[in-house]
Amino acid sequence: MPWAEQGSRFTVLFESLTIDWLKDACIRAVARLLGLSWDEVDGVQQRAVRRGLERRKLAAPTRLGVDETSFAKRHEYVTIVSDLDSPTVVYVTDSRGKESLGSYLEGLSAEERARIEVLAMDMWGPYISAALRFVPGADQKICFDRFHVAKHLGDAVNRVRAEEHRALAAEGDLRLKKTRFLWLRGEESLTPEAHERFAPLRDSNLKVARAWALKETARDLWNYVRRGNAWLAWTRWLGWASRCRLAPVIKVAQMIRKHLTGIVNAIVHHVTSARCEGINAKVQWIKRLAFGFRNRERFKNAIYFHLGGLDLYPSAGS
């Protein structure tokens, strides 16, 4: 009929209304408000994604972001590939192994893989292996994000603080009590009262003060433009960090040394994973909206529905 898709039990107008509501509410809420069953509304969403993927004629992005996210409490993951130039998910697949990113890259033509300029990801070995296998010149295209590096350094500073606080507290010295966020936040974001408390700690000979100085110096290293200058600056920092006699910092420095090429690539290409993190935040919203997912396929379907940039609506009489 001209007012319904072939084989559909709903009119085009009603199914379009259901899709509109699903963009802002969970399946259960839409089913209750429209007087439908949960399965009927889920079917609308599944058909919308299916037709959207069939219609999509998407040129392979040249700047890719790769991230994983969990959907269950048992460390169940999916891998999400996104376009860094637009907040759009181009591919969702199971797990976070080498074959996960590999399945997307292998599906591209040789010309499309050669046109890839950037692969932004965290320092996850299976993703790195897949990129090196399928993307020509991947060693100069893989980029590791500054926020990921900053997180590792922040965790190292916090471990130094916690260890030193226990040792000082045993001697009755409580200088480091309730100072965690003073060391982790940027000094420029501290209130005048917090800065007044932090300044003498920062200028002391505490171990955590040394760890903090290393962390803050690393923040400035992302401002370089030329590859050679950035490489030299990071190499000098690594020399300082390796001699700091702070085990948590040394461990992070070893990780940075191993992945230094990808860090310098990110500096040269001006790449961050902010887009990936933005998409990940929206994925978390999708999970909260649905009160979690037990079915991996429904989770992937929901990601495509909300973040795939798809044409979801039915066409009359198709």
**pLDDT in single tens digits along all 318 residues of the chain:** 667 777 678 889 999 999 999 999 999 999 999 999 999 999 999 999 999 999 998 788 999 999 888 876 667 889 999 998 887 999 999 988 899 999 999 999 999 999 999 999 989 999 999 999 999 999 999 999 888 899 999 999 999 999 999 999 999 999 999 999 999 988 888 899 999 999 999 999 999 999 999 999 999 999 999 999 999 999 999 999 999 999 999 999 999 999 999 999 999 998 876 777 788 888 888 888 876 677 788 899 999 999 999 999 998 654
Rounded CA-CA distance 296/208 in Å is: 43
**Hey, which residues does 92 pair with through a beta bridge?**
80
Rounded CA-CA distance 159/173 in Å is: 18
Residue from 222, 233, 260, 269 nearest 116 by CA: 269
Distance of CA 184 to the CA centre of its chain: 20
Rounded CA-CA distance 40/45 in Å is: 9
Which structure tokens are listed for 58? 């998407």
Rounded CA-CA distance 164/183 in Å is: 13
Task: Give pLDDT, residue 73.
Answer: 66
Burial 191-226, CB ≥16 within 10 A → b, else e: eeeeeebbeebbeeebbbbbbbebbeebeebbebee
137: left (phi over 0), alpha (psi -120 to 50) or beta: left
Triad 37, 41, 46: Cα angle to 5° = 140
Q: Is 90 exposed, middle or buried (0-12, 13-18, 19+ CB in 10 A)?
A: buried
Residue from 191, 239, 248 nearest 217 by CA: 239
Task: Give pLDDT, residue 5.
Answer: 75
Q: What is the H or E stretch that residue 82 is in?
A: strand 77-83
Q: Look up residue 289 and give its amino acid.
A: L
Phi, psi (rounded to 5 degrees) for 226: -85, 140
C-beta of residue 5 within 8 angstroms of C-beta of residue 314? yes
Which structure tokens are listed for 42? 């889920």
C-beta of residue 262 within 8 angstroms of C-beta of residue 50? no
Task: Give pLDDT, residue 278.
Answer: 82
Helix and strand counts by DSSP (H, E) for the chain: 15, 5
Distance of CA 72 to the CA centre of its chain: 17
pTM of the shown model: 0.85
